[in-house]
Structure 1
Amino acid sequence: MKLLFSERLAATILLVIFALVVLFHGLVITGIIPFGIVWGGRLQTHSQMLVFETVSIALNALMFGVVAVWVGHWKAAVGAGVLRGALWLMAGLFLLNTVGNLLSTNAVEKAVFTPMTLLLALFSLRLALGPRPVVPVARL
């Protein structure tokens, strides 16, 4: 079966999207972007937004790290099995998030973030299904 996109392309797009998503959530925390357009429009208070956005930034940074280590941009003593498992979890999480975005009460979230999370799911799945690039593992 021929795959539609390379692992390198999938990893590059994932890294760019994760960086942009962290930036986006930082703009939500600072109030530059209103928090009514995230989390399905269901956040009621500023304190709720801070908790949800902080968790989102942490998770996106962690997923950035998983991809960066997987493709060898960062060195870490993490086994391929752990990284592959994380990529499978990411694919599942993004697939569930796609469903959540489809159910959003906010039209912008539905229109913009539904296709993005679907792409994130597909690119994460592409990395999870492929062989890990041969990269030296850092010794601690």
Structure 2
Amino acid sequence: MLIILNLIMLVLHILIFAGLVPQSMVWGGQIKGQASLYIFEIVALVTTLLFIGIVSLKAGYISPGKWRKAAGIGCWLMFAYLVLNIAGNLASFNSLEKYIFTPVAFVMALLALRVALEKSSGS
């Protein structure tokens, strides 16, 4: 479920990057200028892909090998990031971000916590 939600977020960020979704919908509506938007969206895309990779490693979809411990730490970092994201969403001036993305981030944080607490697959 966490991978699916991250894939949905990945598509959303691609649509924002492509200009198909208004930039006022994200980043608290505070991004001014195309250059800033591109930087923030590239960071969001890389972060989302990293989260998908971390969960895939932790779940055993990708053989973790020597990355097992890093995947565990990554899950805790993802949980912390999502908790901070909830705070940011709540502080947003955009009602869509506040009332739609806050609950999504909350669910994702709970799922990330669940994955972080779980023993790695195959251990």
Q: TM class by shorter-chain length? A: over 0.9
Q: Which residue of 2 aligns with 1:119?
A: 107
Gaps of 5+ in 1: 1-12, 136-140
Alignment of 1:1-140 (within 5 A): 13-134=1-122
Q: What TM-score, normalized to structure 1?
A: 0.84
Counting aligned pairs with the same residue, the percent is 30
Q: Which residue of 2 aligns with 1:8?
A: none
Root-mean-square deviation over aligned CA pairs: 1.2
| Deviation by residue 1:5-24 (Cα, 9 ceiling, x = unmatched) | xxxxxxxx110011111110
Gaps of 5+ in 2: none
| Deviation by residue 1:85-113 (Cα, 9 ceiling, x = unmatched) | 11001101100100110000000000111
Task: Find the structure with the greater CA-based Rg.
Answer: 1
- Between Structure 1 and Structure 2, which shows a larger proportion of helix residues? 2
Within 1, Cα distance between the matches of 2:63 and 2:41?
A: 28
Shift of 1:76: 4.0
Q: Which residue of 2 aligns with 1:9?
A: none
Shift of 1:80: 2.5
